[in-house]
Amino acid sequence: MKQITKHNIRNSLRRIFLYHGLLVRLNTMGVTRVFSYTLAEGAGVTPEQVRKDFSEYRIRGNRRGGYLTVTLLSEMETLFNRDRISNVILVGMGNLGQALSKYGQFIQRGINIVASFDIDPYKQKARADSNVYPPGRLQEIIERFRVTIAIITVPDISAQEVCNDLVNMGIRGIVNFSPVLLKVPVYVVVNNVNLSDEIESVVMSVSRMKEE
């Protein structure tokens, strides 16, 4: 386990998630047809950008007629592989782990957190209805639910170790909330999310704006 991989999804794809979010809202509002400028406005980009992004992923509209909301939604969802629900596990039932596991809207995004793990026995039995297990049962549950994706919300010191175990048990995608850059083999996808960085970058931008 030597190689590091930087996942970093393409900006175009990140924007497509954004367009998708807008579309869902427009769709529930009864909008049946959208144009590149509709999405561009909502996403804060240019209409050309929207079309170029679609072009990259072979998403087509009707010239003059724009895009049908439902068609666009289903094309995007195929792209996201959202035709099936993905089983996901979560390791580390602390503050953040519990918040994520209680969030009810992941399922609408095709994300199903089937089980959580913690070394703390108190957290394992915190609630009878929540599926919190000791790490010893990882292998069993990963196999039972055919899980390939894991969310890591353990303290920084444990993160790399937990990661190594998960990879050895067949996990191929990791969302890492601990503030360490995980080292994984090339065939594993990692997305490092650092909430402190996200907040601090805003603090910094504001301080700099004030100076000018």
Partner DNA sequence: TATGTTTTGTGATTTGTTTCACATTAACAC
Partner DNA sequence: GTGTTAATGTGAAACAAATCACAAAACATA
For ligand NAD, the binding residues (CB under 6 A) are 91-97, 99-100, 103, 105, 117-120, 123, 135, 153-156, 158, 162, 177-179, 195-196
63 binds DNA (CB under 7 A): yes
Residue position matching structure tokens 């850059």 = 181
HSE-up of residue 166 (Cα within 13 Å, Cβ side): 33
**Closest to ligand NAD by CB, 73 or 154:** 154
Write out the two tokens for 5: 């991989």
**Closest to ligand NAD by CB, 56 or 120:** 120
54 binds DNA (CB under 7 A): yes
Residue 123 interacts, among ligand NAD, DNA, its own copies, none and using kind-specific CB cut-offs from 5 to 8 Å, with ligand NAD
For DNA, how many residues bind (rule: CB under 7 A)? 24
Residues contacting 2, CB < 8 A, separation 6+: 183
**Closest to DNA by CB, 42 or 66:** 66
Cα separation, 87 vs 185, whole angstroms:
22
67 binds DNA (CB under 7 A): yes
Ranges assigned E (strand) in 83-192: 86-91, 111-117, 132-133, 149-152, 173-176, 189-192
Which segments of the chain does DSSP mark as H helices, in order? 11-28, 36-43, 47-56, 69-79, 95-102, 121-124, 138-144, 156-168, 195-211
* CA distances, 194 to each of 49, 132, 161 (Å): 28, 24, 18
Task: List residues near its own copies by CB under 8 A.
Answer: 4-7, 9, 13-14, 17-18, 21-22, 25, 41-45, 79-82, 86, 88, 95-96, 98-100, 102-103, 105-106, 109-111, 148-149, 151, 172-175, 179-181, 187, 189-191, 193-210
The residue from 51, 124, 132, 167 that contacts DNA (CB under 7 A) is 51
On whether the CB atoms of residues 116 and 101 are closer than 8 A, the answer is yes
Residue 51 interacts, among ligand NAD, DNA, its own copies, none and using kind-specific CB cut-offs from 5 to 8 Å, with DNA
47 binds DNA (CB under 7 A): yes
**Closest to ligand NAD by CB, 38 or 124:** 124
- Across the strands, what pairs with 152? 91, 176
**Closest to DNA by CB, 8 or 112:** 8
HSE-up of residue 63 (Cα within 13 Å, Cβ side): 0
Q: Which residues bind DNA (CB under 7 A)?
A: 10-12, 35-37, 45-49, 51-52, 54-55, 59-67
